[in-house]
Amino acid sequence: MMTETCIFCKIIKKDLPAIIVFENEEFIVFHDKNPISELHLLLVTKKHIESLQSISINDSEWLGRMIALIPEIIIQNGCKNGFRVISNAGTNSGQEIPHLHFHIIGGNSLHKKIL
């Protein structure tokens, strides 16, 4: 998918509205428009990367920074009793938006454990 047609690239460029709760040079966090839990955020790379299928060992540093943002995001959004992080990658996962993102879900008890 081209970055011009990518929904998340449009949100990053502020061409599409979203409820943004965090933003720095590398990443943006906004509310999922179709939440599956009380809190459902999307932590998204500003660079258009398709999924975890497209990364390698060379991406360790920024990926580390991306994951390390999660506790602060969780605290700032009042989600103190635990959460879950999911990243769909590729066809079999049902990935809808081919732009790398982590779903951060919580706010209520997450009954269905996949793994």
Q: Say how far apart CA 109 and CA 29 lie, in whole Å.
A: 22
Residue 99 falls in the annotated catalytic set = no
30, burial (CB in 10 Å: exposed 0-12, middle 13-18, buried 19+): buried
Candidate ranges 21-29, 65-73, 91-99, 104-112; the one touching ligand 5GP (CB under 6 A): 91-99
| Maximum Cα–Cα distance across the chain | 38
Encoded tokens for 63 = 């990926």
- Taking the complex as a whole, how short is the minimal distance between the CB of residue 85 and ligand 5GP, in angstroms? 12
Among 15, 20, 33, 78, binds ligand 5GP (CB under 6 A): 33
Question: Binding pattern to Zn ion, positions 47-66, x when CB under 5 A?
Answer: -x------------------
Which does residue 6 touch among Zn ion, ligand 5GP, none (CB within 5 to 8 A, set by kind)?
Zn ion
40, burial (CB in 10 Å: exposed 0-12, middle 13-18, buried 19+): middle
Encoded tokens for 92 = 């079999």
Residues that bind ligand 5GP (CB under 6 A): 7, 16, 18, 30-34, 88, 94-97
Residues annotated catalytic, as ranges: 101
